[in-house]
Structure 1
């Protein structure tokens, strides 16, 4: 018994030394987490955009990884980014393009695991507010609802408008959130059009409250809008946090990929049983209709495609003067190391 124990120890030591010589990151089976209590910020947690986060939370996957994650929900992604920059959040569940935007301001944040492989954002016009709508140019001078100014919904609206020659300052952006407040804002005439996520947009669409003019809720629609794959929701944090807390980042990625794996085979009834009742916005059937519409937009394995990062940079640079494509180092905006290990662990 003693000899076998020594043999195991000798083998383990030799393996670790070999890994060190090769420069391969060492991942121990029960690696000690540098930080177990995590403050996580998200903008609009009840949206399908962040469904993998909710699933991993509700099913206890963060706890399984030894993490105590406290989630703060903000009105939109720009607000959750502010929480990270201000120091009140360790990690953000938010849009990947924020990593590019922030690098253009000399602040380095990095995606550690991907949750969405399409933005799931639809842009619609209110037939009541703009009854004679003929094209995007008709939105000049109008009020456009977004989850929060500066969020990914704002980015998609900017992209769509810019292609019709409309600049961001040619319209008024109004933050309306991602739930009941967004429905009310459009139906009451506070805004003329809206760029938002599901289930809100499907609910408005099915009731005839919006006419969809741009749609990234499917992979096909995303390709039509962006010209390529467009990564969406991810977990991101300061590059310095990643360097100092690799085991914690691995645990976060593991929890998310575990959730993604569960979602691959989950049926509508499984989703209904798992998410909080408030997510349904009072209409279970429409919630499920929304889920079916965006299902393929959910990431499969946590990995962010290199081509997707290039698409995001191209899109941002097309309408954001501060983003210079030749000045951005895309390799510093994301890492697939944690996603790769999580994918192997859960066979995602």
Structure 2
């Protein structure tokens, strides 16, 4: 049996993976697919791909594009979530800051450099016409737990993270939500190490076929809203809103989207150049 290690954030987006793994669908195809949680997000997954600790990552589009251009020997093989990710902008509940513009020049918590929380802080700054050199100050907090400590202690002033994941922390008075910053592109893609693609193309196609069948039927699973709410400590009304806003994909990300994403990252000096479509993607 072929062992394959896949990584992703421990969030509701990835429930289709755990369902298909628990159902034994990969084992039935002689594939031992092992899931590994990455609370640290995209930056941590990029590091794990480079270190060959994982074979596949369900990862933020902007983060993996940046890291492939920076030398990560991986390719995007498919879009996973077609719709934008809605990043919530959060401060500590007792923070003096009330609006997004109050945050100009203050300390932004990020999980690590190159992470989604890092890159989207630039997008938020651009959206609000801030000076990207002088109005951004980053503090590394590793993950969501680190953000709780960082914001409450004053180590950092604000934090961007997926809005529905942080909603329970807003509801219980840990964070205060002061705005949103949606991604200008599809939010999650499936990336695979080049070496794995070359050596295990048949197994990879099988894995994608199984997850694509699962995601195409996901919203039709009986009581899926209740399952998500229970599993991820969410309110049922928040889960239903999220389901209405979220669409999975079963296709490779297109050239126009890849170019648009790179143009945005290049304009923010996040990537040094715009590269060819085939440098970033692999059509199976």
Give TM-score scaled by structure 2 length. Answer: 0.82
Q: Distance in 2 between matches of 1:52 and 1:183?
A: 28
Alpha-carbon spacing, 1:169–1:36, altered in 2? closer, same or farther (3 Å): farther
* Structure 1 residue matching 2:35: 3-state secondary structure: strand
Residue among 313, 322, 335 paired with 2:282:
335
Residue among 136, 148, 151 paired with 2:101:
136
The aligned residue for residue 239 of structure 1 is 194
CA deviation after TM superposition for structure 1 residue 336, in Å:
4.6
Can you list the C-alpha shifts for 1:5-51, whole angstroms capped at 9, x where unaligned? xxxxxxxxxxxxxxxxxxxxxxxxxxxxxx72112222x32x13433
Q: Distance in 2 between matches of 1:66 and 1:154?
A: 39
Alpha-carbon spacing, 1:60–1:323, altered in 2? closer, same or farther (3 Å): farther
CA deviation after TM superposition for structure 1 residue 68, in Å:
0.5
CA deviation after TM superposition for structure 1 residue 134, in Å:
4.5
Q: Distance in 1 between matches of 2:59 and 2:190?
A: 6
Can you list the C-alpha shifts for 1:61-113, whole angstroms capped at 9, x where unaligned? 33343310122222222112111101222222212233421332244421123
The aligned residue for residue 100 of structure 1 is 65
Contact kept, 8 Å, 1:48 with 1:198, in 2: the verdict is no
Alpha-carbon spacing, 1:238–1:127, altered in 2? closer, same or farther (3 Å): closer
Report the structure, 1 or 2, having the larger strand content: 2
Alpha-carbon spacing, 1:120–1:64, altered in 2? closer, same or farther (3 Å): farther
CA deviation after TM superposition for structure 1 residue 127, in Å:
6.7
CA deviation after TM superposition for structure 1 residue 196, in Å:
0.6
Q: Distance in 1 between matches of 2:71 and 2:143?
A: 28
CA deviation after TM superposition for structure 1 residue 185, in Å:
4.9
The answer to whether the aligner puts 1:69 opposite 2:18 as a matched pair is no
Alpha-carbon spacing, 1:210–1:330, altered in 2? closer, same or farther (3 Å): farther
Alpha-carbon spacing, 1:186–1:272, altered in 2? closer, same or farther (3 Å): farther
Structure with larger Rg: 1
Alpha-carbon spacing, 1:99–1:126, altered in 2? closer, same or farther (3 Å): closer
The aligned residue for residue 8 of structure 1 is none
Can you list the C-alpha shifts for 1:143-184, whole angstroms capped at 9, x where unaligned? x23344421222111221244113388312333524x66556
Q: Distance in 2 between matches of 1:183 and 1:141?
A: 17
Unaligned runs of 5+ in 2: none
The answer to whether the aligner puts 1:313 opposite 2:241 as a matched pair is no
The aligned residue for residue 201 of structure 1 is 166
Once superposed, what is the RMSD of the aligned Cα atoms?
A: 3.1
The aligned residue for residue 57 of structure 1 is 21
Contact kept, 8 Å, 2:120 with 2:181, in 1: the verdict is no
Q: Distance in 1 between matches of 2:102 and 2:96?
A: 14
**How many equivalent pairs are there?**
279
The answer to whether the aligner puts 1:290 opposite 2:231 as a matched pair is no
CA deviation after TM superposition for structure 1 residue 242, in Å:
1.4
Contact kept, 8 Å, 1:123 with 1:157, in 2: the verdict is no
Contact kept, 8 Å, 1:115 with 1:233, in 2: the verdict is yes
Report the structure, 1 or 2, having the larger helix content: 1
Q: Distance in 2 between matches of 1:317 and 1:334?
A: 18
Residue among 34, 39, 56 paired with 1:91:
56
Give TM-score scaled by structure 1 length. Answer: 0.69
